[in-house]
């Protein structure tokens, strides 16, 4: 039998469970609300569809390994130089490349409990020690506690802003104060997957790119507001010297030519993005109002989802499972260390209304 390193043997392979189609076949519901992955239920931008169609005949060729046209468009979009952009198969892939390219043997990373699960998984897969601060009382990052965990072996600090799965946000003032206290030799990864939503929701949301801090790598994605979760496209913005390292360790021909085209098309479809933001604004207002009337606590959010605190694991599990049988799909947060909570994305108006109706019924029975 081939031996496996202990840090890999201890990992648990991702198990997505049943698909929506399988649940529908089993329980026979005719209406559904798919609100478990923070996707954009508005669909795919027409600009991306058109761009994909134009490059279909190029599938027999390898894509541009430098993604030059896409990076040029992103540089203009963000307001930086082309050599400050790195693209990959989703921002999760860039996160793995950060650990691969920057963290040496015996060094550690510092982050928070109750944050993006992939951070913990990738760190463990590279046999990197992960030091975790607890969430604060409002389900936000405790930045002081994180500072207290930094030691001589710390190489990377990871911040998800707003945080997934809690939705809580670190303000511009808080992030600037934090950066002043982080030692100069430490890399700070700021994951802004929900940037397009957050900057519209909160006026004090920090754009970490504007800090022009050589220690910061900012991560963003096309999986949320741009409606391209299935295309797998993320990008990093950082000092050229940091980007050079990421270019060294990335997959040669990632992302695909189809994905690069989709990204370019999505950037050019401003109308879709504006409609997405408005849909989230209206849907969030509706969801919060309905949950307030039900007396359900939710964490303050700056994203396209709400984390509901249902007080006990038993209640969270029961409600999640009951809703699934009725075609409402929300995320139980045990994997995030928050087993008494569920996360629900903002969907289309009819999905939000269906969720609230079914959730109200189940809540009354539990």
Model pLDDT, residue 145: 98
Q: What are phi and psi of 329, to 5 degrees?
A: -115, 110
With 0-12 / 13-18 / 19 or more C-beta atoms within 10 angstroms meaning exposed / middle / buried, residue 249 is middle
- Strands annotated E in 134-213: 154-160, 187-191
Domains of the chain and any CATH numbers? 6-43+271-365 (3.90.1150.10), 61-268 (3.40.640.10)
The pLDDT value recorded for residue 16 is 72
pLDDT of residue 1: 82
pLDDT of residue 6: 84
Integer CA distances (angstroms), 136 to 15, 112, 114, 232, 361, in order: 29, 10, 10, 32, 31
Give the span between the Cα atoms of 295 and 137, in whole angstroms: 19
Mean pLDDT of the chain: 96
Instruction: Please choose, from the candidates 171, 177, 178, the residue with its C-alpha nearest in 3D space to the C-alpha of residue 111.
Output: 178
Mean pLDDT of 64-76: 97
* Beta carbons of 186 and 155 less than 8 angstroms apart: yes
State pLDDT tens for residues 135-190.
999 999 999 999 999 999 999 999 999 999 999 999 999 999 999 999 999 999 99
Is the model's pTM score more than 0.85? yes
Average pLDDT over residues 204-220: 98
Instruction: Choose among 51, 59, 102, 35: nearest CA to 236.
Output: 102
User: Once rounded to an integer, what is the mean pLDDT over residues 233-250?
Assistant: 98
What pLDDT sits at residue 64?
95
pLDDT digits (tens, 9 = 90+) for 288-301: 999 999 999 999 99
Q: Return all residues near 259 (Cβ < 8 A) that are at least 6 apart.
A: 63, 89, 228, 231, 232, 233
Each residue's pLDDT tens digit, 2-48? 888 888 878 677 777 789 999 899 989 999 999 999 999 999 999 99
């Amino acid at each position: 039998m081939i031996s496996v390193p202990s840090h890999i043997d201890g990992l648990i392979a991702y198990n997505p469970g049943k698909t929506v189609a399988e649940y529908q076949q089993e329980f026979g519901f005719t209406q559904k609300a798919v609100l478990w992955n923070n996707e954009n239920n508005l669909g795919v931008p027409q600009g991306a569809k058109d761009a994909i169609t134009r490059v279909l005949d190029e599938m027999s060729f390898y894509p541009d390994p430098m993604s030059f046209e896409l990076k040029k468009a992103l540089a203009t979009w963000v307001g930086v130089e082309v050599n400050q952009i790195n693209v990959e198969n989703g921002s999760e892939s860039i996160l793995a490349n950060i650990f691969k390219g920057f963290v040496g043997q015996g060094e550690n990373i510092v982050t928070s409990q109750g944050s993006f699960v992939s951070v913990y998984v990738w760190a463990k897969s590279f046999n990197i020690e992960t030091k975790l601060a607890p969430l604060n009382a409002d389900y936000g990052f405790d930045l002081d506690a994180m500072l207290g965990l930094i030691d001589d072996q710390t190489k990377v600090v990871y911040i998800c802003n707003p945080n997934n799965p809690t939705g809580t946000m670190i303000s511009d003032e808080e992030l600037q104060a934090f950066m002043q206290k982080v030692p100069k030799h430490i890399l700070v990864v700021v994951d802004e997957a929900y940037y397009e939503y957050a900057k519209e929701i909160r006026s004090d949301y920090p754009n970490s790119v504007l800090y022009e801090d050589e220690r910061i790598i900012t991560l963003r994605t096309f999986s949320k507001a741009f409606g391209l979760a299935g295309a797998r496209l993320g990008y990093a913005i950082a000092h050229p010297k940091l980007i050079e390292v990421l270019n060294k360790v990335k997959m040669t021909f990632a992302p695909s030519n189809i994905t690069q085209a989709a990204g370019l098309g999505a950037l050019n479809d401003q109308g879709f993005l504006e409609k997405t933001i408005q849909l989230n604004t209206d849907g969030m207002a509706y969801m919060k109002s309905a949950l307030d009337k039900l007396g359900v606590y939710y964490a303050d959010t700056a994203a396209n989802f709400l984390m509901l605190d249902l007080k006990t694991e038993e209640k969270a599990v029961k409600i999640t499972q009951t809703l699934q049988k009725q075609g409402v799909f929300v995320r139980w947060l045990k994997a995030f260390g928050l087993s008494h909570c569920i996360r629900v994305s903002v969907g289309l108006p009819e999905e939000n209304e269906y969720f609230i109706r079914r959730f109200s019924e189940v809540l009354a029975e539990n």
